């Protein structure tokens, strides 16, 4: 594999997957994924449950280890160091340092229940990056204001709606100043009337140029905000292209069958 070079100009590959494979025992979940996400893109992944979307997302920040192929973020291999023709897995501490650049928002929020909204946001910058608590609190309040929850700083997760918890989770990820944001079906656990507030925050991030990979069933969001869309099924990329083109004129029968049930 040719080493990728970091470039400062917009649009260089932020994520590049080449023949990425992932198995659990005898079950191959990812069967050779090839795709590229450019800097500043909103890249949407759609497909049926079990197609490998979330697994691929978790491989990007090395929450799951790949079994084959190459996966890089901003020109650097994920979880490995290449020496000659061989890959050597990084130590957990080295992986954790690289993971700081990648924010992830999960389906189920994953907030610390014993901490307030502000404490949830402040904890990682202080403990992981060594920021002063005063500085982290100041930025945490700014992030809460950004996601429309400045008045909820002292509320615990149990006192917040699902949509509010998810917006706190987004603010918590942003507190680490990531270069890449991963969203794993961020609205699928929410009541329908709460989805819009979360999507509005994601739209704002897109307008600001944040590179985002979004596993989603929100086809309207993909069509409106997405720069690229991939339809996955059975651990492979079936179809890819601009969201409007794929959603309105799918070329593969499997894509057409899926979209006929969700649109």
pLDDT at 226 over 70: yes
pLDDT tens sequence across 35-86 = 999 999 999 999 999 999 999 999 999 999 999 999 999 999 988 888 888 8
In 3D, which of 177, 181, 171, 169 has the Cα closest to residue 211? 181
Measured CA to CA, the distance from residue 205 to residue 31 in angstroms comes to 31
Full-prediction pTM beyond 0.85? yes
Burial degree of 12 (CB within 10 A; 0-12, 13-18, 19+): middle
Q: How many CB atoms lie within 10 A of CB 82?
A: 14
Measured CA to CA, the distance from residue 256 to residue 136 in angstroms comes to 47
Residue-averaged pLDDT of the chain: 92
Q: What is the mean pLDDT of residues 100-122?
A: 95
């Amino acid at each position: 594999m040719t080493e990728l070079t970091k470039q400062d100009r917009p649009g260089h590959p932020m994520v590049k997957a080449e023949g990425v494979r992932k198995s659990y025992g005898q079950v191959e979940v990812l069967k050779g994924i090839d795709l590229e996400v450019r800097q500043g893109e909103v890249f949407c992944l759609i497909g049926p449950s079990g197609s490998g979307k979330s697994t691929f997302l978790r491989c990007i920040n090395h929450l799951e280890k790949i079994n084959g192929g190459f996966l890089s973020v901003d020109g650097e291999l994920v979880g490995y160091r290449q020496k000659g023709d061989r890959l050597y897995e990084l130590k957990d501490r080295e992986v954790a340092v690289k993971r700081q650049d990648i924010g992830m928002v999960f389906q189920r929020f994953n907030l610390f229940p014993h901490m307030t909204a502000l404490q949830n946001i402040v904890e990682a910058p202080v403990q992981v990056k060594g920021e002063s608590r005063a500085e982290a609190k100041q930025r945490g309040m700014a992030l809460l204001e950004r996601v429309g929850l400045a008045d909820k700083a002292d509320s615990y997760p149990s006192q917040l709606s699902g949509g509010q918890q998810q917006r706190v989770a987004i603010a918590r990820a942003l507190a680490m100043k990531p270069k890449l944001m991963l969203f794993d079906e961020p609205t699928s656990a929410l009541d329908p009337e709460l989805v819009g507030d979360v999507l509005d925050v994601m739209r704002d991030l897109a307008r600001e140029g944040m590179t985002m990979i979004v596993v989603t069933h929100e086809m309207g969001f993909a069509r409106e905000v997405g720069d690229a869309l991939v339809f996955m099924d059975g651990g492979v990329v079936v179809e890819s292209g601009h969201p409007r083109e794929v959603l309105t004129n799918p070329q593969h029968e499997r894509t057409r069958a899926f979209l006929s049930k969700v649109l």
